[in-house]
Structure 1
Amino acid sequence: MENVLENLPLWLPPSGRGPGLVLIQEIFGLDDYLRSVAAELAASGYVVAVPELFWRTAPGWSSTHDEAGVAASMAVMSSFDPALGLSDVLATVAHLRSLPSVTGGVGVLGFCLGGSLAFAAAAEGDPDVAVSFYGSTVAAQIEGLDRIECPIQFHFGGQDPYIPRSDVAVVEAAVAAHPGAEIHVQEDAGHAFHNNVAPMFHHPEAAARAWELTTGFLRRTLPA
């Protein structure tokens, strides 16, 4: 594999055309969960691409969704370069813009690691919309919000053991002063609460609430 666009997984909507979405992975890789999200978004009218972020160091990576899988994925993450990952995301945004099947804009949507990169892509690149689920580095890089011109939506869990509630409060304060940004905190949920194949993380009620907010946000800002 010479670059992230080689063998890029792509999901097309029933019509074969629509706005583009770059779906950005968690540390677990391109797994059944992410594939199901891609398929759902495609069914809603989007052309969805999922860049493989670990192609340089762990090509084809996909782990289990338990303590062992978390440990293995964290080991893979130890050799991950966020700057190169961001360049892969932005390259995928540009690639989608070039496709005849992509009509309208191109957005980014990411979970966990992908949530951090979705925020970074909005701050450093030019997506038309961004959705960031529980990105652990968002609070530390929140000054980047001032550079974001596209609509952006943040999601966090109030009981996240990896992202302190105080960090979420930092994001809340910044969002309150930034037109075009919104944040939703599921106070009863922890980390990765939307991941429906990870029993140790999944919170069905919080996931349903957050996903309804997400799809509504996309309909308003990147209508299919």
Structure 2
Amino acid sequence: MTATTLRIPTDHGDLPGLLWLPAEADGPVPGLVVLQEIFGLSDYLRSRCADLAALGYAVLAPQLFARLEPPVLAVEDDEDFEAWLAEGMELTQALPWERAEADAVASLAALRSLDAVDAERVGLVGFCYGGGLAVAAAATAAATGRAPAALVSFYGSALPALLDRARTVEVASLHVFGTADAFIPIEQVERIRDAVTDGGAREQVRFALHEGAGHAFDNPHPGLHHAAASAAAWSQTEQFLAAALPAHG
């Protein structure tokens, strides 16, 4: 499935993004804004966007690293795992968090504005860096009365620093983590669980732990991938979206 380029209006000029539309639709479809890992809109991220479009969603992935000089689309896999990881972290640190969050919120508005999209049914999906960013953007959007319709966060790396904001996000959501995450120890994962579920009171929030999986386990890079956890978490994502933000019927 091929993506097209979309210019996303923001308060700091237009931002490029990639847009996937489902092959067949009888009318406006629900939408998902997909927020990247530290490696940008890599082949992996683009393949996940295509997967979501194949389920019937309009999918918009903002090119957050286009704010950098020079602009960056992606840091593709490198045999030198540590160098690849360091480059991704360096790029992420060079992009102000507030700018990335504002661009994520603007991407929600841009996707809602498309004729092909049901403006009342637009959600957020984020991976790693984007998983925390999705929660922050959801909190900001909710404060302005335009909360996303649903939220999926894969091992949001910034969530330990966002617990107070995470508690304000009441939309239907799915959070997935690995129990062997070296970047987010299980004690922090449990604090995140308490915050996003409001101590277990939010029935609309699902929290899934994957035994033995490390950080970024859905990424196919050999230094990160956990095949069983990846398959299980993606199945959970499909089931969650089918219930919380159905693309058909």
1:31 alignment counterpart? 42
| In 2: Cα distance, 1:152 partner to 1:83 partner | 23
Contact 2:181 2:214 in 1 (8 A): yes
Contact 1:118 1:132 in 2 (8 A): yes
Letter in 2 for 1:42: A
2:132 alignment counterpart? 116
1:41 alignment counterpart? 52
Correspondence for 2:17 among 8, 15, 18: 8
1:122-154 CA-partner distances (Å, limit 9, x unpaired) = 222111111111112213222223321311111
| In 2: Cα distance, 1:148 partner to 1:6 partner | 26
Deviation (angstroms), 1:178: 2.9
1:189-208 alignment, distance < 5 Å: 189-196=213-220, 198-208=221-231
| In 1: Cα distance, 2:68 partner to 2:148 partner | 27
Deviation (angstroms), 1:5: 4.7
Change (3 A) 1:11 1:82: same
| In 2: Cα distance, 1:193 partner to 1:220 partner | 24
Correspondence for 1:134 among 140, 155, 159: 155
Other structure's SS at 2:167 match:
helix
Correspondence for 1:57 among 47, 68, 86: 68
Contact 1:193 1:203 in 2 (8 A): yes
Correspondence for 1:144 among 165, 169, 188: 165
Letter in 1 for 2:174: Q
1:91 alignment counterpart? 106
Change (3 A) 1:158 1:199: same
Alignment gaps of 5+ in structure 2: 1-6, 142-146
Deviation (angstroms), 1:115: 0.3
Contact 1:158 1:185 in 2 (8 A): yes
Contact 1:5 1:51 in 2 (8 A): no
Deviation (angstroms), 1:6: 4.2
RMSD value, Cα: 1.7
State the TM-score, normalized to the length of structure 1.
Answer: 0.93
Other structure's SS at 1:83 match:
helix
Letter in 1 for 2:176: H
1:222 alignment counterpart? 245
Matched residue pairs, number?
223
Deviates more, 1:120-129 or 1:211-220: 120-129
1:168-215 CA-partner distances (Å, limit 9, x unpaired) = 01122232233421211112100110112x110011100011111111
Other structure's SS at 1:214 match:
helix
1:188 alignment counterpart? 212
